[in-house]
Amino acid sequence: PSSVEVYLQKHEVTATGGDVPAPFMTFEDTGFPPEILREIQFAGFTSPTPIQAQTWPIALQNRDIVAIAKTGSGKTLGYLIPAFVHLKRRRNNPQNGPTVVVLSPTRELATQIQDEALKFGRSARVSCTCLYGGAPKVHQLKELERGTDIVVATPGRLNDILEMKRIDFRQVSLLVLDEADRMLDMGFEPQIRKIVNEIPPQRQTLMYTATWPKEVRKIAGDLLRNPVQVNIGNVD
Ligand code: ADP
Ligand code: MG
């Protein structure tokens, strides 16, 4: 077996669904723009985590992904860095609304994702706004009005703001569902479906989940188009 095959086996990485590209074994393999590689280097990371190695080349092909992996596997940069590349390709004006929407179950997690987006997207000048419940809407709406590339949000608050027609989704072309299993456990499925209905259908969708029960399989089947399924570790 090749060194790549040994690596995939060692980390229990499997990817199924269509022609799956080889993983990026090193940061140089990724071909990420220098302003992104600079921030990764700055953080002191030496190589992609298994989920990053396997999902990055798939995401860069604009394909949908459902990734099943435990916490601590590096999922956040797994989708944020392809999102930065997506933004660079689209060159949309953030004044006209976000290009990337990330759904997250809690305020705390959403804030962590925003922090990571601002840290690793600094040289690429990526803007990111965080929307969550339990805080007044006024500041969040003001931030939205200034324009943003990425919105990271809990489903309840984002759905409220959509219903108020205070956010323009017409140029959204990348949707990320982080911790999808947890969002469903928290009862967010109706809000998730309403949000997704407002996003133009020609989008790319990336879904991350720690578990793979039938509720998650169902929503993945409804929201993703010919996804590549990536498993890290053993999944039943
Ligand atoms: P998950 O969402 O899968 O639970 P996170 O995205 O929160 O995991 O990442 C866990 C930690 O690993 C974070 O502190 C993150 O900055 C760090 N990390 C991410 N990618 C790498 C990498 N390639 N090398 C080293 N550390 C990384
Ligand atoms: Mg995470």
Q: Which ligand is nearest to the CA of 24?
A: 1
- DSSP alpha helix (H) spans, 102-154: 107-120, 137-145
pTM above 0.90, yes or no: yes
The answer on pLDDT for 236 being more than 70 is no
Residue-wise pLDDT for 134-156, tens only, equals 999 999 999 999 999 999 999 99
Give 226 Cα–ligand 1 centroid separation in angstroms. Answer: 27
Q: Give yes or no for residue 44 CB within 6 A of ligand 1.
A: no
Q: Answer whether 51's CB lies under 8 Å from 74's CB.
A: yes
For ligand 2, the distance from its centroid to the CA atom of residue 79, given in whole angstroms, is: 10
| Torsion sign (Cα): 197, 199, 203, 205 | negative
Residue with tokens 């179950």: 105
Are 128 and 121 a contacting pair, CB within 8 Å?
yes
The average pLDDT across 174-189 equals: 98
Residue 207 Cα to ligand 2 middle (Å): 11
| Gyration radius from the chain CA atoms | 17
Cα of 52 vs centre of ligand 1, distance in Å, is: 10
Q: Is the CB of 39 under 6 A from ligand 1?
A: no
Is 98 a pocket residue for ligand 1 (Cβ < 6 Å)?
A: no
Q: Which contiguous run of DSSP H or E holds residue 68?
A: strand 65-68
Distance from residue 76's CA to the centre of ligand 1 (Å): 7
pLDDT over 70 (residue 100): yes
Ligand nearest to the CA of 109: 2
Structure tokens at 92: 């949309």
Express each pLDDT in 10-64 by its tens digit. Answer: 999 999 998 999 999 999 999 999 999 999 999 999 999 999 999 999 999 999 9
Q: Give residues whose Cβ lies within 5 Å of ion ligand 2.
A: 75
d(CA 99, CA 2): 38
Minimum CA distance residue for ligand 1 atom 20: 74
